[in-house]
Each structure stands twice: as structure tokens, then as C-alpha cells.
Amino acid sequence: MQANRIYNFNPGPAALPLAVLEEIQGSLLDYKGSGMSVMEMSHRSKEFDAILNDAIARTRRLLQLDERFHVIFVQGGASLQFSMIPMNFLADGRSADYVNTGTWATNAIQEARVLNKTVNVVASSEDRQFTYIPRDIVFNPDAVYVHLTSNNTIRGTQWAAFPDTQGVPIVADMSSDIMSRPFDAGRFGLIYAGAQKNIGPAGVCMVIIRDDLLKRVPANLPSMLKYTTYTSKNSLYNTPPSFAIYTVQLVLKWIEETVGGLGRMEALNRKKAEVVYRGIDGSGGFYRGTAEPASRSLMNLTFRLPSEELEQRFLQAALQAGLGGLKGHRSVGGCRASLYNAVPMEGVEALADFMQTFARKNG
């Protein structure tokens, strides 16, 4: 750990690779001899055009996207996508299937219903406080899409494998686990991810959209709410969040060139999660994981201590030890370690050692 920097387990905005921060620092005042920061240059300049197109190209390579897919960058975060998706794809008389696995999936369902769209909640884990991922789901063959949240930051659950939707396109909120592992993108009609958890800073949302869904976009939507506006203008219809996109480009470069791709990224993420889960499960009940074991997230590891008073002491002592961002979401309490791509193994090992020491002193 560098001087004055803590190990950052925040759930979002979250840790960025140190190498990326250092590259940004080195080019902040003068990007590649331009005499300007990326924050200052025109979004229509050749320098920014190269940044944007490199981010798109790296996304394509990392996810092995074929020519059917478009990669765009949209403002408004994942939350705007909750309404944009039904606005663009759900015409009158059509319906979509949604799987409710927690807060963000619940919000997506509510936003679609605000628009008076027909939503079928075909499965939910609300019966056990969203502590598991539903299985054996029966989807409607005439649904326009199936919406799911791939990783649930608040409850600490994740789809280990995506469901068989019998050919119905999957639309997925991957805000908190995109680029953390390989998957078959061909089954997805649309993928969206607020960058601030796993691939960049707050301020931009990556959207990957397949041609067959793009053809459903109606002409009578406001320009900024139509996906075709972004795909036809390469995300440059208006001024995009250029500095956020620049940071995403650098993170993708780091994943591709330093880590070595998504296969290696997944292997590292699994090792990190195993270290912490082993500490939780081996604590003799001092730490209690809140997600059911078969549904546990590799990104957001949620746990409780024997009392709220002990949890507060744990969080305070952890911060004093240089371990930050471990407080659980305000809606559920407890503790949460977010082990996104940029969280280094040495930070995870430091957390595991601290947890063991704290349990020994307070158990």
C-alpha cells in the first residue's frame, strides 16, 4: 500500500487500478503532447476520437463481441437504463420478463411499470430477503426480453451461470461485475453497466446493444432517450463525459494488457473471494455470511457480526488499520467487502488477517 492510500473496499464509486490513477496523474496537464488535459479537449478532436474508439475496440475484444453489437456510452447511470430499456423495446401489447433479486432489480421493475409497460415478474428471491438467486425459472416464450441483475451489490448474490431463456434475449444490469469474468455475450440483447463499480469512475454508463433489439426502437422518443441516437453518432450526439470515458479506456487497457484478459481476471477474483469467505466460514460463527452459499457474489461479500455494537467497532478498527469502505448498505446494515477488479490481492489478504485478529480479540 502506498503512503496515504488505504485499501479501498467501497461498493461504488470504488477502487481504480493504481497504475491507471498514475497514468492519469502523469497526463493530467498534458495528454500525449496536446498541451491539454483530456478534461479540456474537444470531444470531436482526433485525440478524444482515438480514446473513444480504443475503449470500444477493447470492449469488443474482451467480451468477444461480433458485428451485431454496438458499444455506446450514456450518461444517467444504470438507473436511467431502467426506464430507457422499456421505452425503447416494449411496444403496446408486448411484455417482458423480470427476475427480482434485490433493490436494483426491484427499481428496474418499478420504472417499467411507471411507464405502464407490461412486466411479468417470473421469479423473485424476496421470500428469503433476496439472499439467493432463483433457479428453475419458467420464462414466457413471447417475452421481448428477460431482464436480470447479474450481481447484487446490497445482498451479495450473483448469477454463477445465466439462465436458459429459450432464445429470448437477456437484458442485464452488469454494473458491478462487468469485465470480471468471461461469458457468452451472444445470448444478450443488451448489457448495461454504470462504470463506477468495476470499470471506471462515476459519470458514464456503458451499454452494449445487439442489432435485433436496436431495430425495435420507436422513432417518436426524445433524442436523448433513443439508443439509435447514440449508435448512429458513436456516442457523440452531444458532449459525452469524456474524462470518465478516458478512465474506462485505461481500465480496459489494464485488464487486457496487464492482467491478461477476462479469464485471468476471473481466476484472480475467485482467489480473492475465497480468501475472505474462508475467513468468514472459519470464524466459528463470529462472522456470518448473509448470502446463501450457492449464490454468493465474488464481487460484494456481505457479512454480519454478533452485534451491531461489534460491527461499529469492527468498521472503526478496520479504517484505523487502513481498510476502508466496509460498511454494509444503509438499507440492510452489517458489513460488506467489495472485491472489484482493481482491489489488489495484498489488500484482500490484509483484510482477512485483520478479520482473524479482530475475531480472536472480540470473540
**Confidence band for 107, pLDDT divided at 50, 70 and 90:** very high
CATH 1.20.1250.20 is right for the domain spanning 22-258: no
Give mean pLDDT, residues 290-313.
Answer: 98
pLDDT given at position 181: 98
Is the pLDDT reported for residue 227 higher than 60?
Answer: yes
Residue 305, judged by CB atoms within 10 A of its CB (0-12, 13-18, 19+), counts as buried
- Please report the pLDDT score of residue 363 as a whole number: 86
Average pLDDT score over residue span 104-111:
98
Question: pLDDT at position 322, please?
Answer: 97
Q: According to the model, what pLDDT value does residue 96 have? A: 98
Q: What value does the mean pLDDT take over residues 197-213?
A: 97
d(CA 186, CA 207): 15
Asked whether residue 153 carries a pLDDT value surpassing 90, the answer given is: yes
In this prediction, residue 274 has a pLDDT band, given cuts at 50, 70 and 90, of: very high
pLDDT in tens, 169-182: 999 999 999 999 99
194, 59 in Cβ contact below 8 A?
no
Which residues lie below 8 Å from residue 16, measured CB to CB, with a gap of 6+?
Answer: 200, 201, 247, 251, 342
With contact defined as beta carbons under 8 Å apart, do 146 and 170 qualify?
yes
Indicate which residues carry an active-site annotation: 104, 173, 197
Query: Would the pLDDT of 250 be above 90?
Result: yes
- Domain ranges across the chain: 22-258, 261-362
Give the confidence band of 328 by pLDDT, cuts at 50, 70, 90. Answer: very high
> In the prediction, which pLDDT does 174 show?
98
Across 315-334, average pLDDT: 97
pLDDT band, very low/low/confident/very high, at 3 (cuts 50, 70, 90): low
Compute how many other C-beta atoms are within 10 angstroms of the C-beta atom of residue 230: 22
Query: Which pLDDT belongs to residue 237?
Result: 98
Give domain 261-362's CATH superfamily: Aspartate Aminotransferase, domain 1 (3.90.1150.10)
Res 4: pLDDT: 84
* pLDDT tens-digit map of 14-49: 999 999 999 999 999 999 999 999 999 999 999 999
Indicate if the pLDDT at residue 2 is higher than 70.
no
Average pLDDT of the chain, as a whole number: 97
Query: Mean pLDDT over residues 268-291, rounded?
Result: 98
The grid cell for 191 is 448489457
